[in-house]
Amino acid sequence: MFKGSIVALITPFKDGKVDEAGLRKLVNWHVKEGTHGIVPCGTTGESPTLSHDEHKRVTEVVVEQVAKRVPVIAGCGSNNTAEAIDLTRHARKVGADATLHVAGYYNKPTQEGLYQHFKAINDAVDIPIVVYNIPPRAVVDIQVETMARIAALEHVVGVKDATADLTRPSKERLAIKGKAWIQLSGEDGTALAYMAHGGHGCISVTANVAPRLCAEFQQACLAGDFRKALDYQDRLMPLHVNLFAETSPAPVKFAAGVLGLCGDEVRLPLVKPGPATQAKVKDALRHAGLIN
């Protein structure tokens, strides 16, 4: 159900508020361009600076606008387990297809604490759960043995892996027995190798501005045509790199603004990228053939 190019959707703002019309426009554009799934309210959606009401409203708008055309995996992650459960209950209520949950950032839980966090969410709400493992932001790493324990939980269906450790998909596949396990890359630059190791797709930042190219890249990978996928990789790699030249999602929102998709406004403590990064992003857009 969850495979291919799944966009980690930016949240457009206008004058400090969520731009709902712009959000609906983005959703329709992604479906038209071939994006295989949408993740609202992730880190790329600036979830840390969305109020709880805004977070829930963004999820509602995306689910409503998608109208079951592609799967919606609602970002519901929190380092507060009770808050994560509340967001998950809301996502289920409004019709999301699954939820995405990051490990406990900042409070640095032990491996047992990580397991108990996901178990509590699993036990509280009947909805598919995708585990998000991103040590650079969360500071903690969900180790393979712990991931296997979490995978045994009834509603946990897969992982978004942003470790950039390309042995992980193979190790986890071997460790997780008795159920189908969806493996999604969370790191655009290494997604090609991740797919070659048996991955099913990528939750992508670059797909915000190059959805058709990312979808075609994923289709080539899923078909086993890695020669074709490599051509897409070379076309997209400067974007994969330069959309992180400063803290994401500032560069990708700038790129979206260049393409006229939405405004480039971000919320403090993030700021718009500086001139050097802007130039790099424009060069990457040209390399991908998205602007002249």
166-225 per-position pLDDT tens digit: 999 999 999 998 889 999 999 999 999 999 999 999 999 999 999 999 999 999 999 999
What is the span of the domain harbouring residue 171?
4-225
pLDDT reading at 104 higher than 90: no
Does 132 participate in catalysis according to the annotation? yes
Residue 259 belongs to some domain of the structure:
no
If you count them, how many residues does the chain have? 292
Question: Which stretches of the chain are DSSP H helices?
Answer: 20-33, 52-66, 81-94, 111-124, 135-138, 144-151, 168-175, 191-196, 211-222, 226-242, 250-258, 275-287
Give CA angle at 129 (99, 138), nearest 5°. Answer: 80
Closest C-alpha among 257, 227, 222, 251 to residue 239: 251
> Over pLDDT 70: what percentage of the chain?
100
Contact 292, 286 (CB under 8 A): yes
Q: What is the pLDDT of residue 184?
A: 98
Angstrom distance (rounded) from CA 28 to CA 50:
22
Question: What is the rounded average pLDDT of the residues 111-140?
Answer: 97
Residue type, 160: K
Q: What is the pLDDT of residue 1?
A: 79
| Identified catalytic residue from 3, 56, 115, 160 | 160
Residue 258 belongs to some domain of the structure:
no
CATH code assigned at 88: 3.20.20.70
Residue 124 belongs to some domain of the structure:
yes
Per the rule left: phi > 0, alpha: psi between -120 and 50, beta: everything else, 27 is alpha
Angstrom distance (rounded) from CA 270 to CA 266:
6
Residue 215 belongs to some domain of the structure:
yes
pLDDT reading at 229 higher than 90: yes
Residue 246 belongs to some domain of the structure:
no
> Over pLDDT 90: what percentage of the chain?
98
Q: What is the pLDDT of residue 178?
A: 86
Does 194 participate in catalysis according to the annotation? no
Residue type, 2: F
Residue 279 belongs to some domain of the structure:
no
Angstrom distance (rounded) from CA 3 to CA 7:
11
Contacts of 232 (CB under 8 A, 6+ apart): 213, 216, 217, 220
- Asked which of 75-79, 136-140, 200-204, 268-272 is least confident by mean pLDDT, the reply is 136-140
Residue 98 belongs to some domain of the structure:
yes
Q: State the total domains in the chain.
A: 1
Residue 243 belongs to some domain of the structure:
no
pLDDT reading at 7 higher than 90: yes
| Collapsed DSSP state (helix, strand, coil) of residue 251 | helix
In this structure, are strands 73-75 and 98-102 parallel, antiparallel, or unpaired? parallel
| Identified catalytic residue from 115, 132, 194, 232 | 132
Across the chain, what does the average pLDDT equal? Answer: 97
Note the maximum CA span of the chain: 52
pLDDT reading at 227 higher than 90: yes
